[in-house]
């Protein structure tokens, strides 16, 4: 817990965009895309260079940001699923302690559809709730269609006021004007630059001639990558070169547009809550034809699974700081609890980043983990079930694709992740070390998809023989501060441990 010195802010503004990969911001890479307000935010605070979501997919990534738990724990392991009834959001944990909490923008965690239910989720002030369904309800039937049609970007009469981003900013500014003297958590969750990437001119046309690439030309190593990636590359609906250029142009233009909308909110922060912690991130990236892929999915490539993470905290974080440690979104919720002077419940697997932010310590874990289940529960396509668990230590990335070929990359020698080293004898030690850590993580976090199949990979000659008993332990749910203690099946008494064995008998 941080100390209670006079300059300790008890106000947090969490800003996030959708589909902003790490190098779509000028402060990360010089490429011609203009993001002046987020670049200024980074120059005033700390930029994490290697931040990763829990999953490179909208809803699962958001589930971790706002509960502090893994998607396989909270129930949102794919788009289209709602948070489990035993999953409490950071809004609930803070609101239950008398703090003001407001959520404006895309939620995607109620299990209805992409836009949401229009009803405030528990833990967030109903006066400021504004999700995609609320936005659509404000539009006429014709305007609804325009809001979902990328062709709307070509309309010279389109104004900022029409967009979801602008209306979210308006509500955030109103909240700051009314609550600037109170302790609060304000989340502003933009849908932009996610498809259909609606933005007015000049944003929608400013990058028509920009070449935006991140890796060398040509395909990845032939025959060494998972089949799912070949199917993914062949199956994307955007096939026409002109349509692909339009997709890229609109996405990048919407990024500069949403940067301007964030600038409006930051101006209000400076006016009404100048000491607040401001945190900016994204849920995932977009391959944009790197590795011949588009959008996001079951891969841990940096273009898809590496996101910007910037934190400004006046008086606490030195301006212009940069951190190179691998960082996971799993640590965001504990960090927010720490800012408000609350301990992290044992149920949450992450740890506060306050020591890292203030330069007094390192991240609690040297590994980040990323998972994937399926793209969405509704469509039958998008590859269907693609179970992936991955781990990264700052140099080597291991992806275990349960139903396909596994991957290992050495980012020091191969920063663009072109050569799959999963069968490389020279990398056996690094691969097996990461694999052991990944299996332990799956066990410790009660991953419901854990089992002997993850351990007995064809490249793991020293794997244990398959066993019906697995690890031989029982993993009851830990305390979360809300639900009653788990009862032992065999004794009817409260469990005293969160891991025990063997299966029958004992507490």
Catalytic center residues = 58, 108
Are 84 and 74 in contact by the 8 Å Cβ rule? The answer is: yes
Residues in CB range of 152: below 8 A, 6 or more apart: 146, 158, 196, 198
Retrieve residue 81's tokens: 């699923």
Please state, as a whole number, how many other Cβ atoms lie within 10 Å of the Cβ of residue 27: 18
Bridge-partner residues for 193, per DSSP? 18
For the record, the structure tokens of 235 come out as 């199956």
Sign of CA dihedral 151, 154, 160, 161: negative
Helices (H) and strands (E) in the chain, counts: 14, 12
Residue in 270, 255, 191 with CA at minimum distance from that of residue 13: 270
Rg (CA), the chain: 23
E strands present in 82-159: 100-105
Q: Give the C-alpha separation, 273 to 184, whole Å.
A: 10
Strands 184-193 and 100-105 come out as parallel
What whole-number distance in Å separates Cα of residue 424 and Cα of residue 420?
8
Helix (H) or strand (E) holding 151: none
Q: Which of 303, 320, 302 is nearest to 311 (CA)?
A: 320
Query: Between the CA of residue 287 and those of 35, 299, 301, 441, what are the distances in Å?
Result: 19, 10, 8, 27
Looking only at the bridges linking them, the beta strands covering 407-410 and 100-105 are unpaired
Closest to 365 (Cα-Cα) out of 356, 357, 373, 374: 356
What residue has token string 């244990």?
464
Q: Are 300 and 390 in contact (CB under 8 A)?
A: yes
b/e map 96-131, b = 16+ CB within 10 Å:
eeebbbbbbbbbbbbbbebbbbbebbebbbeebbbb
Does residue 275 have a cis bond before it (omega within 30 degrees)? no
Do 280 and 16 touch, CB atoms closer than 8 A?
yes
Helix (H) or strand (E) holding 191: strand 184-193
* Residue tagged 């996030």 (tokens): 16
**Helix, strand, or coil (residue 318):** coil
Distance CA 487, CA 489 (A): 6
Two structure tokens written together for 123:
């833990």
């Amino acid at each position: 817990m941080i100390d209670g010195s006079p300059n300790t802010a008890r106000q947090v503004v969490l800003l996030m965009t959708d589909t902003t990969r790490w190098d779509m911001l000028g402060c990360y890479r010089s490429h011609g895309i203009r993001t002046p307000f987020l670049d200024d935010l980074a120059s005033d605070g700390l930029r994490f260079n290697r931040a990763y979501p829990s999953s490179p997919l909208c809803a699962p990534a958001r589930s971790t940001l706002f509960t502090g738990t893994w998607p396989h724990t909270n129930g949102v392991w794919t788009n289209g699923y709602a948070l489990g009834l035993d999953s409490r959001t950071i809004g609930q944990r803070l609101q239950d302690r008398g703090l003001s909490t407001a959520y404006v923008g895309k939620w995607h965690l109620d299990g209805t559809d992409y836009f949401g239910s229009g009803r405030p989720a528990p833990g967030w002030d109903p006066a400021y709730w504004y999700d995609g369904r609320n936005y659509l309800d404000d539009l006429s039937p014709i305007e609804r269609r325009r809001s979902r049609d990328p062709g709307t970007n070509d309309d010279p009469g389109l104004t900022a006021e029409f967009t979801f981003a602008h209306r979210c900013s308006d509500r955030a500014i109103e909240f700051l004007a009314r609550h600037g003297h109170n302790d609060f958590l304000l989340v502003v969750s933009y849908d932009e630059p996610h498809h259909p990437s609606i933005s007015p001119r000049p944003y929608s046309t400013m990058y028509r001639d920009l070449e935006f690439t991140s890796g060398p030309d040509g395909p990845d190593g032939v025959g060494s990558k998972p089949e799912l990636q070949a199917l993914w590359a062949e199956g994307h609906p955007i096939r026409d070169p002109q349509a692909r250029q339009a997709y890229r142009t609109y996405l990048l233009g919407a990024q500069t547009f949403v940067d301007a909308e964030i600038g409006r909110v930051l101006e209000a922060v400076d006016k009404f809550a100048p000491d607040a912690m401001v945190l900016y991130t994204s849920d995932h990236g977009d391959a944009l034809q790197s590795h011949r892929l588009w959008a996001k999915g079951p891969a841990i490539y940096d273009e898809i699974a590496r996101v910007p993470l910037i934190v400004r905290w006046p008086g606490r974080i030195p301006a212009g700081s940069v951190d190179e440690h691998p960082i996971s979104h799993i640590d965001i919720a504990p960090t927010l609890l720490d800012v408000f002077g609350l301990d992290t419940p044992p149920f949450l697997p992450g740890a506060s980043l306050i020591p890292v932010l203030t330069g007094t310590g390192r991240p609690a874990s040297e590994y980040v983990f990323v998972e994937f289940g399926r793209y969405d529960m509704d469509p039958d396509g998008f590859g269907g079930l693609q179970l992936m668990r991955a781990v990264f230590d700052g140099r080597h990335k291991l992806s275990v694709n349960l139903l396909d070929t596994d991957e290992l990359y050495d980012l020091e020698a191969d920063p663009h992740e072109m050569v799959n080293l999963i069968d490389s004898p020279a990398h056996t030690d690094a691969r097996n070390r990461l694999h052991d850590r990944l299996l332990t993580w799956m066990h410790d976090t009660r991953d419901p998809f854990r089992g002997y199949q993850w351990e007995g990979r064809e490249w793991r000659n020293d794997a244990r023989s398959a066993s019906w008993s697995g690890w031989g332990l029982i993993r009851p749910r830990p305390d979360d501060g809300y639900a009653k203690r788990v009862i032992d099946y065999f004794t009817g008494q409260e469990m005293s441990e969160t891991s025990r064995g063997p299966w029958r008998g004992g507490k």
